[in-house]
Amino acid sequence: MALFIPFKLIMETESASIYETFKREFDKLVEGTLSLPINIPGTSYHHGFQGRKNVIRMLKGVMEKRRASSMTQDDMLGYLLRNEGSKYNLSDEEILDQVITILYSGYETVSTTSMMAVKYLLDNPRALQQLREEHLAIRQRKNPEDPIDWNDYKSMNFTRAVIFETSRLATVVNGVLRKTTKEMELNGFVIPRGWRIYVYTREINYDPFLYPEPYTFNPWRWLDNSLESHNYCFIFGGGTRLCPGKELGIVQISTFLHYFLTSYRWEEVGSNKIVKFPRVEAPNGLHIRVSKY
């Protein structure tokens, strides 16, 4: 659902016919971007390149069919193709980049973090109870049919702490790739100009000097708001490369948790395998039994 909803908003007409095929290739692309940059056959990085080629091929096919049709589409792709009210004409490559960026930015990170939040909360009843109380208090201020609004979101202090702690423990993006623009020296090692550097931020999240009892799920540590701004907090990147979708992702997960917690209880079914290296995933899914709250 985390991919299907934005996919339908972008290409409503084609969403039913090509979604399953598109998702298989898009999953390869996503896995490639979250892997070590080793481009040889058999690696996730290489599969990512192949997936991107197939994604581009499918998107170009949709664009060509739409341009050949007299029908007007009012979805996101339709507006991008018509380019109405814009002083700058987007090229096809720019349109393709826009579509892929929009789909990518809210898919893997949001869905995996939501899944792991459900898992960690189930394993930590005290945190689950405090989080549920925060959301039930919001619902008590509203009529049953009223949706949550921005003010409600801003009041979700413990929810934000849960999301940050989940993101710390279950690091979805475990590093960042950079390229040196000039020769530099770091701790006595000389790194030549033009080298690619993979900064493995995942291990920072498990440093006991920065996060006491680093393998313990402790969302209360994030109630100290200054922790988010520390220069060693790379959960959403840092500096000028801070993730532009940071707050949007937190809003999406907060909204999901709000309605899930206030409407349902859940329990794990069977033995769920969670893989945390090289990236967080549940190979067979996280199986839970849901009942009304």
Say if CB 161 and CB 223 are below 8 A apart.
yes
**How far apart are the C-alpha atoms of 136 and 141, rounded to whole Å?**
9
Strand partners, 290: 266
Burial class for 40, CB neighbours closer than 10 Å (0-12, 13-18, 19+): exposed
End-to-end, the C-alpha distance of the chain in Å comes to: 22
**How far apart are the C-alpha atoms of 77 and 225, rounded to whole Å?**
39
Give the Cβ contact number of residue 5 at 10 Å. Answer: 13
Peptide bond into 192 cis (omega under 30): no
Q: Is 233 annotated as a binding-site member?
A: no
**How far apart are the C-alpha atoms of 113 and 107, rounded to whole Å?**
10
Q: Parallel, antiparallel, or unpaired for β 189-191 and 264-268?
A: unpaired
- Strands, DSSP E only, in the chain? 176-179, 184-186, 189-191, 196-199, 264-268, 288-292
**How far apart are the C-alpha atoms of 246 and 156, rounded to whole Å?**
16
**How far apart are the C-alpha atoms of 273 and 290, rounded to whole Å?**
19
Q: Radius of gyration (Cα) for the chain, nearest Å?
A: 21
Q: Which residues are annotated as a binding site for heme?
A: 243
Q: Which residues are annotated as a binding site?
A: 243
